[in-house]
Amino acid sequence: MAKVAIVMGSDSDLKVMAESAKILKSFGVEYEMIVASAHRTPYKALEYAQTAEEKGIEVIIAGAGAAAHLAGVLAAVTVLPVIGVPINATALAGVDALYAMVQMPSGIPVATVAINGAKNAGILAAQILAVKDGELRQKLHAYKEKMAKEVEEKSLRVQNAVIE
């Protein structure tokens, strides 16, 4: 059963949102992906968020560009944590989407990652799930240790680099 829902406003967002799916898959977290637009299919988006909890979803990741109301619309009708991914889809380079997500009214929180930051959204979703899943928590610890090791290896390469 999927624990994380990845919802995107358009299929054109898939390239960015696939990063959430990839990182969740690497941690063994089940997910499902759908397209539901806050503006073009608002009833579908609302119904999806309203029934997500009963389907076993525990975290929702919502990616959208431009006016980017999707994450807020979903958050308005569920108590599940919603993570917003602002997508660079307009001449404003995703800043419009970022502002739409971080400026939510009091009482309707949307955790928001960087523009096109779907990988971090997946990691954050895994961290939320890991609060009650020790095995997943261990995978996250290993992931962070691997990142630290990679940085140390890069540091050694830099220290040993010959600059001409």
The burial of 24, by beta-carbon neighbours within 10 Å (0-12 exposed, 13-18 middle, 19 or more buried), is given as buried
Reported as a pLDDT band with limits 50, 70 and 90, residue 68 is: confident
The pLDDT mean for the chain works out to 96
| pLDDT per residue as tens digits for the range 9-42 | 999 999 999 999 999 999 999 999 999 999 999 9
Output the domain CATH number for residue 60. Answer: 3.40.50.1970
Q: Is the pLDDT of residue 63 over 80?
A: yes
Determine, yes or no, domain membership for 146.
no
What is the model's pLDDT at position 65?
A: 94
DSSP code for 107: T
The burial of 125, by beta-carbon neighbours within 10 Å (0-12 exposed, 13-18 middle, 19 or more buried), is given as buried
Determine, yes or no, domain membership for 149.
no
Mean pLDDT of 60-77: 95
What is the model's pLDDT at position 164?
A: 80
Q: How many residues does the chain have?
A: 164
| pLDDT per residue as tens digits for the range 102-115 | 999 999 999 999 99
Name the pTM for this structure: 0.95
Determine, yes or no, domain membership for 150.
no
Contact assessment for residue 58 and residue 128, using Cβ atoms and an 8 Å cutoff:
yes
Determine, yes or no, domain membership for 159.
no
Determine, yes or no, domain membership for 142.
no
Range of the domain at 129: 4-135
Determine, yes or no, domain membership for 30.
yes
What is the model's pLDDT at position 6?
A: 98
